[in-house]
Chain A
Amino acid sequence: MQKAITLFSINILILLLSCNQEVNVDLPSYNGKIVVDGWIEQDGYAKVLLTKSAPYFGKLDSIALRELVLTRAKVSVSDGETTEVLTLHPNPDYFPPLLYSGYQLKGEIGKTYQLTIEYARQKITAETSIPIPPKVEKIWFETDPKEPEKGMIWASISNDPAQTNYYRIFTQTIGLEQKYFPIAFPNYSDQSFNGQNRNIPLYPGTSNTMSSHPKENYSLEDTVLIKICTMDRMAFEYWEDFQQEMINSKNPFATSNTTLNSNIQGDALGIWCGYGAHYSRITTTRQSEN
């Protein structure tokens, strides 16, 4: 549905873009804020990427981008009993390619995790929890009647009717991608299907929204890793806002002007997110089902 509306809005925009020109805009001076992109899932260690935000029109080449990376912060994670200080090490799969990671404290289902970041006399905190992972009933592949060599992967999830569950879904195509990427419309809450099974099409995602056009289907013989996660409400609201922002920031027919709804406390941006993850794998054949 979102896709349809987005396409409609873009369609109207084409009319407008015929009189499109570049302009100079004077923006007020800007002091960079700490940006947190951190997560923890069950049986996994905490991982945190730390950067600073940049002025909107600042020059962003390789040097400037590297300068945005925070390498001298003290990052610690606590489950209320144990506290671990994360260590920084390189990881080329991420941007920035320097990741704060834990080695002792593993995520556990139902536990709450406190993140503390200390940098240049500034202290930032955030809290998240790891919900029960989703119950994935089945995953299957359906070929496209118009393009028999391609198709869509589907996942069916059931949920606990006693509470509202929030989901975020990632995929990774082996041989094409080095890590998991969120699918095209990755966030769901079960408000509309509470207590029922829900079949979700896993539109392939992209590494970032600046990529040209995302592929719309999977090819036959793709091996795809699928990660379906549950998360808490704060995390869901952040990712929903994030999604809206990605779609709406260029659309005059939409409202896009608010800072994302974050769980980070202090003068900082970003998200600290706990995932209850369910992993599966599928190789797309004409009759494949996991």
Chain B
Amino acid sequence: MKNYLNIIKYSLFLLLFNFFHCNAQNIFQLSGTVKDSQTGSSLPGAHILINKTKGTTTNSKGEFHIQLPAGEIKVQVSFMGYHPYQKEITLERKVELTVDLHPISLEQEEIVVKARRDNHNISSAETGFQRLKASEIEQLPTFLGSPDPIKALQYTPGIQSVGEGNAGIYVRGGTPGQNLILLDQMPLHNPSHLLGIYSVFNSLSIQNLNLIKGGIPAQYGGKLSSVIEVNTPASSENRVSFAGNIGTLSSAGVIKGKTQNERGFFLLSARRTHLDLIKSLLIEPLSKNSSRFFRETNYHFNDIYAKYSYCIGTKDRITAQYFFSSDHYKYCKEPLSNKMNWDNWAGALIWTHQTSSNFSYKSILSYTSHCMDMTSFFEDYEFLLGSRLHTLNHKLEFLLNTANHQMRYGWELVYNNTVPEKVKTIMPDINYQDQDELNSAEANLYFNDEMNLLPKLKLNAGFRLHRILHVGPYKQFAEDETGKRLETKSYSKYKIVKGYNFFEPRISFSYQLRPNQSIKASYTENNQNFHLAEVGSVSLPTDIWTSSTEDLPPEKARQFTLGYYHNFANNNFETSTEIYYKKLTNQIELKESVVLKMEKEIFEDQFYMGEGRAYGFEFFIKKKTGRFTGWLGYSLSKSQKRIPEINQGKYYNTKYDRRHDLSLTLNYNHNSKWSYSAAFVYATGNTMTLPVGRYIIQGNIVNDYGKINAFRMPAYHRLDLSAKYQVVKKKQFESFWTFALYNVYGRSNPYFIYFSAKGDLDNYKLDVKAKQISLFPILPSISWNFKF
């Protein structure tokens, strides 16, 4: 029996020995395919690393094969622009893997660096953050047939819905010049069309839109109120695809695709108005009084965006981008003719290098300019008013990911050349021209770390060292007691006139109370070299951009945000409640109006300088899935300014101070053919300064104005509806019609109120009436959209 047992033991030993022995010697094949998780397209050149010792790359079909000894292995897959993938497997036979990589997409990298979970809004440390996806923008009712991403943003809380005729983005009491607007990381200065009625972004080419209005991380700088990132796609599922839209105001198209070796990606989008073609069909019947105006007026705008990116090897990607938008307005009725052109153009070269799966850097060289020219001819008289703004920017950023840290650090160097006002007048016997030109340079060093301090506590902390230099050529002037302008000092090119140094702390944290609840807080300081002085009561291309000088020091903002975030129904409902307080210093206000004096003044003397404050409460609830989706946003806020020369130096409400601002959007997918959407906006009326009395000087009626911005226009409200009819929806071809009604109940929302005095003092008759100008009545529109 004992022998028998020994035989068994020995046999078992031999068996086990043979087994392990054979196993140690066995080689199995690990193969797989690496794909883009969103588009399903294969990813050639992805990097596969086994136990950090052995590796390979995917072939042109995105496939890889590697022979490995059997055992426990750790597979890491990384690819430029995608989140790294990691998996532990036991290799005991041939294994096939399908690896879906989630794109970081270089353009969205700033915000979407982490794979987004359903409760991302709860777990992240971001405050005052909003993201709108292309599908959400598309669902909203359109204005004249084309969705507008910036208008969509105005439906969210904290962004004042300023109404028609103004694409100015007023974020938490800030001015339109205080937003950092980035199109695929390229800054743009004045992105609006049609006197501000439309934004320059073609919705067909947009993937998503991110807005940060609260805790702005340290990698963003130079603007006080917000960061708005407009991102276009970084990859394509199909070899070539085309999407188009033919609307009542404009038509647009976008073509995108990848190169044969799948390493290159291209995108080209273009848009043009055909208002000049359809005005006689649509606008004249609606506005009978203005038919003559439209006969004498010509207007069109266009914009184009192109980008090409190419992966070199497995670690580098180069992207080239170009953007151009222009508006042309012409009015001609003998003997008067007016022309107004304004354009934006920007170009960028971006190089990204992935050193390892957790370390990368990128270099962004960009140039952006905004130009405006307005020319008027009247018989022998010619008048030209223009402005220029050119910015050259280089940003180098390093990104280091560890288990609990995500660090970004780098520098940003900026050179600005600005012509705030260029004036030329030709009259018989007078030929006057003058322009002010300002040059400035900025250097920034920054560091930002997003940390997981505790399982429930996240901290996002950083700083920015910001130096602003006003450099020559520049002439300083002073006035003597008679008002005579005297040159006091002259600076040669690149000579420093004035330097400013700032330390900008940025900190925000989130504490997760439960998996679906968190509280967050943030404190940020920002400084801004540029000032934007609004010429009139609406945001216009004629507004004056100027960089800082000794007498116009840089603008500064300090903002504190506190928020509570709660998701319901398995994250199907998202809610956020935030309060904020913002303090602004060195805010400028234009003394005079667009009617400039020909007599030359000291440039800086055209402005008042003061401070501002804004505080408010914002609530947002969003339903993300189901047949019914939509959101409701509400803001209760106050925005004030204080300028020593105005209102006896006391605080007064700003032009876009809104006590209440409510937006509701609803989408309903009825069936596979029909879907409907509605948007409703209600906002307290704009403030205005109105005359309270009148008096007579030299036979003229002169207004005696009341307190500044003490009067409120009637409230702004509007309902828009739209319906989408899906004609075809196939993989190869998609086509749908959109029918929209803008301002359904024909509300005459006030755009401007003025007073008209008629009569004759000699006959002792005088009649004064208040008149209100409203821009758009009920406007139906239709558009045909297609994709193939």
Contacts and interface: CB of A to CB of B under 8 A. Distances in A.
A210 B290 CA distance: 24
B535 interface: yes
Most A CB within 10 A of own CB, among B287, B381, B597 = B597
A21 interface: yes
A8 B536 contact: no
A16 B770 contact: no
B695 A269 contact: yes
Contacts of B434: 192
Contacts of A4: 376-378, 381-383, 425
Interface string A188-213: 11111010000101000001111000
Nearest to B329: A12
Contact of B699 (A18, A192, A208): A208
Interface in A5-56: 5-9, 11-12, 14-25, 27-28, 30, 32-33, 35, 37, 51-56
Interface in A162-212: 163-164, 166, 182, 188-192, 194, 199, 201, 207-210
A240 interface: yes
Interface residues of A, number: 85
B758 interface: yes
B537 A189 contact: no
A95 interface: yes
Given A5-B595, A209-B700, A24 B770 contact: yes
Contacts of B430: 199
Nearest to A238: B697
Nearest to B762: A95
Contact of B381 (A3, A55, A189, A259): A3
B484 A164 contact: yes
Nearest to A23: B772
B755 interface: yes
B293 A22 contact: no
Contact of A7 (B376, B702, B768): B376
Given A21-B774, A254-B535, A53 B599 contact: no
Nearest to B696: A51
B593 interface: yes
Nearest to B430: A199
Interface string B340-382: 1000000000000000000000000000000000101110011
Interface in B686-725: 688-706, 708, 710-711, 714
Contact of B750 (A23, A258, A260): A23
A68 interface: yes
Given A27-B711, A242-B702, A259-B704, A254 B595 contact: yes
Interface in B152-197: 195
A252 B376 contact: no
A20 B536 contact: no
A277 B392 CA distance: 54
B761 interface: yes
B598 A210 contact: no
B41 to A, nearest CB: 48
Given A56-B768, A188-B599, A16 B751 contact: yes
A256 B711 contact: no
Contact of B696 (A9, A21, A95, A189): A95
B112 interface: no
A119 interface: no
Given A192-B432, A252-B754, A56 B691 contact: yes
Contacts of B596: 1-2, 5
A89 interface: no
Interface stretch (A59-67, A71-79, A109-117, A279-287): A59-67
* B interface residue count range (under 10 / 10 to 19 / 20 to 34 / 35 or more): 35 or more
A23 B753 contact: yes
B592 A1 contact: no
B700 A258 contact: no
A199 B429 contact: yes
A19 B695 contact: no
Contacts of A191: 483-485, 599-601
Given A35-B697, A255-B592, A7 B599 contact: no
Nearest to A166: B483
B482 A56 contact: no
A48 B772 CA distance: 37
A227 interface: no
B142 to A, nearest CB: 21
Contacts of A23: 714, 750, 753, 770-772
Nearest to A246: B700
A248 interface: yes
A91 interface: no
Contacts of B336: 7, 11
Interface string B753-786: 1111111111011111111111111000000000
Given A233-B483, A252-B773, A95 B690 contact: no
A189 B599 contact: yes
A182 B698 contact: yes
B383 A95 contact: no
A271 interface: yes
A210 B777 CA distance: 30
Contacts of B775: 16, 19
Interface of A: 1-9, 11-12, 14-25, 27-28, 30, 32-33, 35, 37, 51-57, 60-62, 65-66, 68, 95-96, 154, 163-164, 166, 182, 188-192, 194, 199, 201, 207-210, 233, 240, 242, 244-260, 269-271
Interface of B: 195, 287, 289-290, 293, 297, 331, 336, 338, 340, 374, 376-378, 381-383, 385, 423, 425, 427-430, 432, 434, 482-485, 535-538, 540, 542, 590, 592-601, 646, 688-706, 708, 710-711, 714, 748, 750-762, 764-777
Given A15-B290, A54-B695, A163-B484, 10 more contacts: A8-B374, A17-B289, A18-B287, A30-B692, A56-B690, A163-B482, A190-B599, A192-B432, A210-B701, A269-B702
